Amino acid sequence: MSRRNKLFKFAEILTYPNVFENPDFHNPHLLGLNGEPVEMKGKWDEAFFKNGNPIILELACGRGEYSFALGKSFPNKNFIGVDIKGARIYQGATKVLDAALTNVAFLRTKIELIDHFFEAGEISEIWITFPDPFLRDSKANKRLTSQRFLKLYKHILKPDGLIHLKTDDPKLYDFTLEVLNEDSTIEVLYNDDDIYSKPLPEEALEIKTYYEIKHLAIGRTIKYVKFKFKQ
């Protein structure tokens, strides 16, 4: 993608009412429509969604395909796609606006900063869909199911809030199960290393992204883990 095209998308999403940005990762604050400062922590339901429906995060949402599809499939739930790449978010946010979906928003920030933008117990579920597996062992703490991130999720989730991981990477899948099984505060509710070989346990798993379809076409299996923190 050319620099000029990226700059266009960065400028364009400033005019999008469904995108919130944290432009300076050293200073966790948000800008909303037309670059105006906004305070959303603890206020997403009243300030954006205008209802009390459950709020679900999709972390590392990329182009927002999953967030968009979730919003269409579950109109009585609210969804926020989180990613660091504004040019990617632009694509999902544009589709959401074109479809007139009012239950999907996007947040551009580092995932390690999410506790700055969500109040304790504000989130009902978290989806982690095909994140970067960070295959080198030296980068294990960057994996979105490492203890570093699990502590953040626990803070913002409601009691009994669910976390879902969907991945095609066997190393990330095995790593996740190892981390979860070593943590006595976590209960693994379901795991499968080939979800499409049997009836799906979650309706949302029927959604397939562009790259997931490509992975399936070359014979890769899709893995899934669902877990929660014990109360």
Hunting for tokens 């997403």 — which residue is that? 44
CA distances from 43 to 40, 110, 115 (A): 5, 20, 13
What is the distance between the alpha carbons of residues 35 and 13, in angstroms, rounded to a whole number? 9
Q: Which residues fall within 8 angstroms of residue 86, CB to CB, at 6 or more apart?
A: 6, 9, 10, 13, 21, 108
Choice among 132, 160, 174, 194 that is catalytic: 132
- Catalytic status, residue 132: yes
How many CB atoms are closer than 10 A to CB 102? Answer: 17
Hey, what are 72's tokens?
A: 């269409």
In this structure, what is the dihedral angle of CA atoms 17, 128, 84, 68, given to the nearest 10 degrees? -30
Q: What are phi and psi of 187, to 5 degrees?
A: -115, 120
* Triad 158, 44, 52: Cα angle to 5°: 65
* Triad 184, 161, 50: Cα angle to 5°: 160
Largest CA distance in the chain: 50
Residue 106: closest CA among 68, 156, 147: 68
Q: Report, as residue numbers or ranges, the catalytic residues.
A: 132
